[in-house]
Structure 1
């Protein structure tokens, strides 16, 4: 596995937009395909004062731009697990959206010395559920970029900038390849309790595909309904107040016992 236990390795993997050294809990957030730590910056000062947000920086983006993106799940999950064990003290909760949720699953199912107290899986089909949309990762550049536009997760200004897309496309395409080919016909269970979040208009991770996580959560399961499409956590202004309210509920020291919102 890459890296050492020093500050440089910590800062390579993790970004703390609002450091809270005395926090009683860390919310560690893994981004969706092609995204970096910046997508979680608007969340940091909206969390409860006793919670510190830590955003995961994956290879191939931001200060890791010169690193090649991970080609397979095993290597990426193993490296992230090692970084979590080195640099993130317990207790912590692990959140992932879309491809990020897939990486959360792969990471907690591997050799993780200090597992999270709970996983929060957002906008993600269960691993044994086939994808709901046609694959785009192997399309030629023009059609691939058109497909990204339909997903609504890439800003139009970025898609319209050929030089910027030439820089970003290899990482985005690789991430989407990992996400679109992710499938476990007979997946193993999660080792910790799970909460799933699903968007009411999400065509990529429809309600039934998200609800299927229930069979993989023997230690506890909750489902939370959020208005919006696939990128519901980040809209309309970089954060979704309803989702952040649900997150506060999920990561409180004594989570409420409210029933599931259904999925």
Structure 2
């Protein structure tokens, strides 16, 4: 794993070296936009480590690593969602000196969505595009309510099922125990989340989901239109909830992201 906080050469950014928030970063000094990627529950920034090479040189990928996993394993996980958003906004603000976009999958999508609102309110900054994947709108609490109604054992089994954990982890007691602790902390973080209805965002939203992802319906994807006055684009990609782990599906996803971002960069 490679951790870096290099990215921009801005002095304010340099003072944040060693924080660990950005992982698997491959700098693209001549890129015209930055794509910040937020991982889902029970996962880590490593899921985005191949994206930089697969995306065009105009797009610099900055995967965000939450505490409590991988090289941040010894750090205390966040359990207060509002606090996480404030800390992330403060950390990321110096990186937003050029056009930027957010991608978030599942829990990472919730973070990307609320962070976009917070940055607009506190810093008057907004992404040129919000990419949300495997995520229902915040007004729909059915999935979280279902998970909360389960016993702890049932809850962890359900999260394991939809997260498609590889056997190399599920059959390794040490790795599996580490994963369970991450799931517990991430679920506690999500339980603290409260969405406050505000005026819609004024930039495009792209909503992705796996064709066979039973956690997100077509209607729920369409409901994202209520959260933007700009365009909503919906794409179903082959696979289940973690469809981007399929090679062809990840390729298609990155092609769709490029198709959305590159034309906007010309007009910036």
CA positional deviation for 1:17: 3.3
Q: 1:95 Cα shift?
A: 0.6
Which residue in 1 is equivalent to 2:180? 169
How far apart, CA to CA, are the structure 2 residues paired with 1:120 and 1:232? Answer: 15
Matching of residues 83-162 of structure 1 within 5 Å: 83-112=91-120, 113=123, 114-132=125-143, 134-135=146-147, 139-140=151-152, 142-162=153-173
Partner of 2:58: 50
**Residues 52 and 216 from structure 1, CA distance in 2 versus in 1: closer, same or farther, beyond 3 angstroms?**
same
Of 193, 204, 212, the match for 2:215: 204
For residues 14 and 103 of structure 1, what CA distance do their matches in structure 2 show?
15
TM-score, normalised with respect to structure 1: 0.84
Q: Deviations over 1:172-210 (max 9, x none)?
A: 222134446756484552343211112221111222112
Instruction: Give the aligned partner of residue 232 of structure 1.
Output: 243
Q: Return the structure number with greater helix share.
A: 2
1:254 aligns with 2:264: yes
Kept in 2: contact 1:94–1:118 (CA 8 A): yes
4+ runs of 1 displaced by more than 3 Å? 4-11, 136-140, 142-145, 177-188, 253-256
Contact (CA 8 Å) 1:149, 1:156: kept in 2 or not?
no
For normalisation by structure 2, the TM-score amounts to 0.83
SS at match of 1:240: helix
Give deviations 1:82-139, integer Å, cap 9, x for gaps: 1110234321111101100000111112145232111111110000012247306963
How many matched pairs? 251
Matched residue, 1:75? 83
Note closer, same or farther for the CA distance 1:221–1:83 as it changes in structure 2 (3 Å cut).
Answer: same
Establish whether residue 218 from structure 1 lines up as the match of residue 226 from structure 2. no
- Gap change, CA 1:131 and 1:226, over 3 Å in 2: same
Deviation track 1:212-255 (CA, whole Å, cap 9, x = no partner) reads 11111113322222122111122247x61111111111111338
Could you say what secondary structure the match of 2:75 adopts?
coil
Which residue of structure 1 aligns with residue 26 of structure 2? 18
8 A contact 1:20–1:52 mirrored in 2 = yes
Range moving further from structure 2, 15-24 or 67-76: 15-24
Distance (whole Å) between structure 2 residues aligned to residue 227 and residue 217 of structure 1: 26
Q: Structure 1 regions of 5+ residues with no counterpart?
A: 257-263
Distance in 2 between the 1:189 and 1:170 partners?
Answer: 35
- Could you tell me how far apart the structure 1 residues matched to 2:24 and 2:161 are? 31
The structure-2 alpha-carbon separation of the partners of 1:16 and 1:149, relative to structure 1 and needing over 3 Å to count, comes to closer
- Is residue 137–residue 176 contact of structure 1 (8 Å, CA) maintained in 2? no
| RMSD (Å), alpha carbons | 2.7
Specify every segment of 5 or more residues in structure 2 that has no aligned partner in the other structure, as ranges: 1-11
Cα distance in 1 for residues equivalent to 2:154 and 2:138? 27
Deviates most, 154-163 or 27-36: 154-163
